[in-house]
Structure 1
Amino acid sequence: MTDSSNIRFNSEAETWDLNPDVQSATRSALSCLLERVPAFSPERSSKPRVLDLGAGTGLLSLALAPHASTILSVDPSPGMIAALTRKLSHASAPHNITPLCALLASSTDPALPDLPSGDTSGDTDAPRQKQKYDVIVSNLVLHHVADLPAFVQLTYDLLAPGGVIALTDFEDTGPEARRFHPEDKMEGVERHGIPRADMLQLLQAAGFAQPSVEVGWVLRKRVERFPGEWKDGKLPLADGEAPCEMDFNFLFITGRKEVST
């Protein structure tokens, strides 16, 4: 994330939750996760440890809280993490979410929590190992990631054996996918959606077993009629004029880290 894009997300943190498209994508992502990730099944004897990468204001983390044992919610924007921290300060907030403001560079990043002391090999002089996660989620983040192969590898390295990733973002279906963002919101956009075949190759290259890249849902979204239309705010439509809308495929991207034998 660049400094200028961080400024953008800091400035939007206070109103982020009011965006109906963000709310819709969060609800749909939650439904896919609960339906398709066995670790979230209520029949399981234990709940998973979850890592939410690019958590923003915590919309998805908060929705997943009842289905997880712990959630580490990571975002590089101080404004976004501050908004989540305020939510967690309420008496009714869940107690199993930990916010972390960081742009992770590797699976051994010092910002990441260590394993609890009881989970070490007993060698007190050995470097502390980092906590691993049963499920790693990320919603509407991949198109902001500059180095996508490194990000995919990071998720693999942070998984516990047998753990899964479940990432969601809109699909690159061609030049029209650019219209997902208005022209004045392009700061921090590294790509206009995720190419399905390329993403599958990245999962395979990182070592994931059972990689899958499928359409999870379709988001109907209002878009600019011409580039820059919303530069000074969304202009009111003339009487009887219908807004310009498009359907965007959202990919549900999964892979498993095999248990070593």
Structure 2
Amino acid sequence: MTSNEWDEFAAEWDGNTATSAYADHAFAELAQVVDLAGLRVFDFGCGTGLLAERLSPHVSKVVALDGSSKMIEQLKLKALPNVFPIAGFLTASLMRRNTLLQTKFDLVTASSVCAFLPDYGAILQTLRSLLRSGGTYVQWDWLASEESTETGFTKRRVRRAMAAAGFINIALTQPFTIEKFGDDTQVLMAVGQIP
């Protein structure tokens, strides 16, 4: 899906019970594995900021990036004082130009975004480069039963890609399900750290 396709969903995104439930569950699971107090967070593929909104009261700063300018417009309307939205794609050029991306983060989150990207391994390398030493990466995506699925990941694929990107202490769980097109769909949560 291109950014323009995601733009079409922006105005109604927060009103969707499944997207709100996903963010609620993701935040609850995150709070169990990471002490959020005072952290500097990069929320990659933030959409309208549903996860950033939940993180905001618990962390020092959230830099929230999404390729959809309309999603970012919705996040800006929330006027969260410690959330700094960026509309754009995570490229080396953007990372050089935007001062918000030039200080390392304690935590990088990627909620239901990585399975939609063309080069998962490359984006993991880029996200890893944004973390400080000892920092944590947390990802949620649909759990796939086979490698060829376009909208999710197998545990094997995620573990292999995270290890190749240099993450350690990798933990994979299936912490919750979300109703998607009338079926309960498992969500895969991946947690890794950098040395």
Output the TM-score relative to the length of structure 2: 0.93
Q: Give the Cα separation in 1 of the matches to 2:156 and 2:97.
A: 33
Distance 1:30 1:107, change over 3 A: farther
Deviation of 1:111 after TM superposition, in Å, equals 4.1
Q: Is residue 171 from structure 1 mapped to residue 143 from structure 2 by the alignment?
A: yes
Match of 1:12 among 1, 6, 9: 9
Which of residues 133, 139, 153 in structure 2 aligns to 1:194? Answer: 153
Determine if the alignment matches structure 1 residue 215 to structure 2 residue 174.
yes
**Structure 1 segments of 4+ aligned residues over 4 angstroms from their partners:** none
Where does residue 43 of structure 1 map in the other structure?
none
The CA RMSD measured in Å over matched residues stands at 2.0
Q: Distance in 1 between matches of 2:173 and 2:100?
A: 34
Change (3 A) 1:26 1:107: farther
**Which structure's CA Rg is the greater one?**
1
Query: Using the alignment, how far apart are the partners of 2:92 and 2:164 within structure 1?
Result: 17
Alignment CA distance shift 1:106-1:212 (3 Å): farther
Q: Which residue is equivalent to 1:246?
A: 183
Q: Please give the TM-score of this superposition, normalised by the length of structure 1.
A: 0.70
User: Does 2:32 align with 1:58?
Assistant: no
Q: How many equivalent residue pairs?
A: 195
Q: For 1:142, which of 81, 94, 114 is the aligned residue?
A: 114
Partner of 2:103: 131
- The answer as to whether partners of 2:168 and 2:193 remain within 8 angstroms in 1 is yes
More strand by share: 2
- Work out which of the residue numbers 63, 66, 69 in structure 2 matches 1:72: 63
Give 1:220 deviation, angstroms: 2.9
Amino acid at match of 1:19: N
Aligned partner letter, 1:206 = A
Please tell me whether the aligned partners of residues 50 and 135 of structure 1 are also in contact (alpha carbons under 8 angstroms): yes
| Cα displacement (A) at 1:72 | 0.1
Counterpart of 1:203, as a letter, is M
